[in-house]
Structure 1
Amino acid sequence: MRKPGSVKSLEELGRVRLSPNFFMRDFLYSEIASFHGIPNIPGFPDRAIEAGTQLCEQLLEPLQARFGRISIRSAYRSPAVNQFGNEHGLNCASNEANYGGHIWDYADARTGATGATACIIVNSFVPYYERTGDWQALAWWVHDHLPYSEAEFFPKLAAFNLNWSSQPVRAIYSNVGKGRSCLTKPGMENWPGQHASEYAEWLAAGEG
């Protein structure tokens, strides 16, 4: 598929079904693109579709099947959109850091891995998080149950970036609290094994 050059071809890209519950159009909205008039369109749609399909099938579908509807806050970014966001302090890392992340149609600049990231909210988790502040319950559930590569949690609504990669790292970070911290990554003592005790209270509360 060529890069869309008309409304009709962009509509066709948006109709591509990445998984039973997700279409490409679900991932193309960007506040940066909308407000500043920068097209958020993949230059290499087939690559974006391939990576996005894995993100949806491997991570988003299982998560939604278990906990109900998830909301997408930010997902695909074109290099132009991401670069603008990076240069203007709009919470976007550099393009090189986002290849294989929010920029789905470019491979990771360091490893050559393909990947895709979406920032999501697990809607049913929000009441528990707002009551307890315990974002780690969801983080550990993801770690135990999904073939993710990286996740990074944020304070508002426990939104988090969830990344699928062809070369998964399996590390979780957080911006909740003071500064960025690492919950777990390979080599840390808490990384292997199961962590059911970390999310037992949440599941028992019936808020997930």
Structure 2
Amino acid sequence: MRAPRSMRGLEDLGRVRLSENFFLRDFLHSEIAALHGFSNIPDDPDLAIETGTALCQTLLEPLQRSFGRLHIRSGYRSAEVNGFGNAKGLNCGSNAANAAGHIWDRRDAEGCRGATACVVVPWVADHYPAPGDWQRLAWWIHDHLPYSDLEFFPKLWAVNIQWHERPKRRISSFAAPRGVLTKPGMANHHIGHGEAYAGFPVLAGIAPGVSRSPH
């Protein structure tokens, strides 16, 4: 698919269905682009669709089926938008760091594909707002879904959740306790964490007490 050069072309791109409940248009809004007059449109729509589909089908759909509707805070960023956000200190990493992350249509330095979205899980934000409760959701995702990278934030436990063809399986947080929660090689990485998320919904389609761990 060619990068759109008209409103009709952009409409058609936005109508591309990435999964049962998500369309590409859901991920194209950017406050940076809206405020500063950029277009947030993929240069390589085919790669953006490919990586966005993997993100939605393997991570976002299971989350939404299990917890109810997700709130998308940030999804796709063009290299132009992300580069501007990084230069102006608007909470964007460098383009190199965000390739195969928020920049869905650029491969990373190793030539790998990936895609990131920042989402809020309202059920978790409503039921578990106490300090440190982001870890409950972190361990639930860790035990059930094939994520690559999770990065949590203090407001509403928003989380950058990444699909990557070579998953790193790393969790970090800007919310207290800050830092790395787990990564390969840490003692807590391969043990069960069910006590941390007792009372959470089971992964949709799985009987109670049965975990579908990606390990």
TM-score scaled to structure 2, two decimals? 0.91
Secondary structure class of the residue paired with 2:102: coil
Q: d(CA) in 2 for partners of 1:203 and 1:50? A: 29
Query: CA 1:59 to 1:107, structure 2 compared with 1: closer, same or farther past 3 Å?
Result: same
What residue in structure 2 maps to residue 189 of structure 1?
Answer: 187
Superposed, 1:128-143 pairs within 5 Å as 128-131=127-130, 133-143=132-142
The alignment of Structure 1 onto Structure 2 pairs a total of residues equal to 202
Q: 1:203 to 1:46 in 2, by over 3 A?
A: closer
Between Structure 1 and Structure 2, the one with more helix by share is 1
> How far, CA to CA, are the matches of 1:132 and 1:150 in structure 2?
22
Q: Does 1:87 align with 2:108?
A: no
The whole-number CA distance in structure 1 between the counterparts of 2:199 and 2:59 is: 23
Pair 1:34-2:34 in alignment: yes
Identity of aligned residues (%): 59
The C-alpha deviation readout for 1:38-70, integer Å capped at 9, x for no partner, is: 110000000000000000000000000000000
CA contact 1:129–1:157 (8 Å) conserved in 2: no
SS in 2 for 1:127: helix
CA RMSD of aligned residues (A): 1.4
Deviations 1:110-144 (A, max 9, x none): x2210000000001111223245411000000000
Residue number in structure 2 paired with 1:116: 115
User: Structure 2: how far apart are the matches of 1:171 and 1:147?
Assistant: 11
Q: Distance in 2 between matches of 1:128 and 1:136?
A: 13
Aligned equivalents of 1:94, 1:131: Cα separation in 2: 32
SS of aligned partner of 2:150: strand
Q: Which residue of 2 aligns with 1:200?
A: 198
- Structure 1 residue 203: deviation in Å? 5.5
Unaligned runs of 5+ in 2: 203-215
CA deviation string 1:142-192 (max 9, x = no partner)? 0000000000000000000000000100110000037x4000000000000
Deviations 1:59-115 (A, max 9, x none): 000000000000100010000000000000000000000000000000112x22100
Secondary structure at 2:192 match in 1: coil
8 Å contact 1:173–1:181 — kept in the other structure?
yes
Distance, in Å, in 2 between the alignment partners of 1:202 and 1:67 is 8
Q: Which amino acid aligns with 2:53?
A: T
Q: Distance in 2 between matches of 1:79 and 1:106?
A: 8
1:200 is aligned with what amino acid? A
Q: Corresponding residue for 2:155?
A: 156
2:126 alignment partner AA: P
Match of 1:104 in 2: 104
